[in-house]
Amino acid sequence: KFRTTTTIDGTATIPVHLWDDLSIDEHNPTLAGNRHLPDSGLEIQFRAKVRDSLTGKQYNTSNTMKLYERDVKVELIKISETYKPGLKYTVIMKVVTQDDKPVADNGPQLTLKHDYERNASKWIGSPLQVSPTNGLIKLDIFPPKDGIALGVNAEYMGHYYYFPAITKAESPSGHYMQVIRADTTDITVGQDVKLIATATEPIRRLVCEVMGRGDIVWAKSLDITTNIMDGYEFSIATVRPMAPSARVLCHYVRPDNQEMVADALNIAVALVRTPVTVDAHIRATKPGAMAGVRADPTVDILGVDISAEDMMNELKAYDYKPKPPVGPYGGHYGRRNGRIGRGGGRPVSETSSATAAEIFANCGAVVLSNGLIHNKPQYMYNSVQSEISVQKSQIVYCTLQKCTVGHTNDEVVGPQWVAAPPPAPTHMQSMPLTTTCKSVLEAGGPL
């Protein structure tokens, strides 16, 4: 703490040195031996106590101030936690002051560099010199299939910014699809929203559903007669159940391995205000004559004190809230939430949908299919019984005896597995996976 006493006549100026007077490096271990403030800033609280020399009364007040080492900050806005090789990924950089005001358009250029290696020392691409427009920089890139992760670094006004890598989505076949909006205009109920579906291979049929307020409000199977690799445009008429937000889910099935390739998109739909009409029972009157206006008795039902925010929160409660991504050992990764503008259409880091199974799950959809829905393997060590995802058409309930991390995903569970009673609980050991399973199909039960 730093204390000082001075005289005041209306105002008083007190100089304070951050390191010599406040010793902020002693109270913050991250600053020890390094006279640099963290990128997130440092908050300092000031308290002042004043004594009136005439009356002897004391007055006190306090205020906080946040200190930054840099006047400007550069942030990477992720439109998704994963990218899909061969399909467009938009890198958005936000260049603003510490109070989120955009930098001048005619200011210094930003040096942007990206590559598909996790180790930045192996990057071979040439940096790009770009100028922010209204504080934003947008760069469309098409990642190759042989990349590992998308890394982005930036340099602005002599300061370097390093951001977490964007991981690659997973697909057994290496093929993906993407659904985006054709424009970024705001949507209201009753308008058509135009979408563009793109895939990394030709397809014949595309199935799309729209989820709104916890229900499927629109669904259609589209016959693709053009090359979807160049983009296929279609439109959806918005209805009230799609407000205030709806989720578009599209998928197709590959004929080679019956893999379901999917993508999802969030769209914001604004409600239209309820129309109000005023009718007069007098069709003709004289100047200066009384024309009465009477309220309809049914307006009494509108006497509930409710705001627009309360109504929007109630409508959003019907929407499915995806859980954070599950790690390989059952833990949950954190996530950040946000959106680009009002009409951007794609959630910013809302979910980390790296596989088709995660896309369906994050939409709140339960899929019953005999196709391959790729998913990451999950290992449960706290329970003897577990459920294994299978590649083919059978739903199998399995009891784990011994488990190891060497288990491979998308394993085909064949009908040669016979029913058996579950074994007695044993300690988990690092040994090959052995299971006793009971197939629902073999037992005669429905899927």
What residue spans define the domains of the chain? 1-69, 72-168, 177-272+318-362, 377-447
Q: What pLDDT does residue 32 have? A: 53
Q: What pLDDT does residue 354 have? A: 86
Q: What pLDDT does residue 178 have? A: 95
For residue 346, count other CB atoms closer than 10 A to its CB.
Answer: 18
pLDDT classification of 435: cutoffs 50, 70, 90:
very low
Average pLDDT over the chain, rounded to an integer = 75
Lowest-confidence region among 76-90, 252-266, 369-383: 369-383
- Whether 83 has a pLDDT exceeding 90, the answer reads yes
- The CATH class for the domain spanning 177-272+318-362 reads mainly beta
- Whether 48 has a pLDDT exceeding 70, the answer reads yes
Lowest-confidence region among 14-18, 286-290, 310-314, 346-350: 346-350
Q: What pLDDT does residue 323 have? A: 55
User: Is 177-272+318-362 the same fold as 72-168?
Assistant: yes
| Residues near 252 by beta carbon (within 8 Å), at least 6 away in sequence | 177, 199, 203, 205, 206, 207, 260, 261
Q: What is the CATH number of domain 72-168?
A: 2.60.40.10
Distances (CA, A) of 147 to 123, 351, 353, 374, 380: 12, 21, 18, 20, 30
pLDDT classification of 169: cutoffs 50, 70, 90:
very high
- Whether 205 has a pLDDT exceeding 50, the answer reads yes
pLDDT classification of 417: cutoffs 50, 70, 90:
very low
pLDDT classification of 243: cutoffs 50, 70, 90:
confident
Cα(422)–Cα(150) distance, integer angstroms: 45
- Whether 397 has a pLDDT exceeding 80, the answer reads no
Cα(47)–Cα(23) distance, integer angstroms: 17
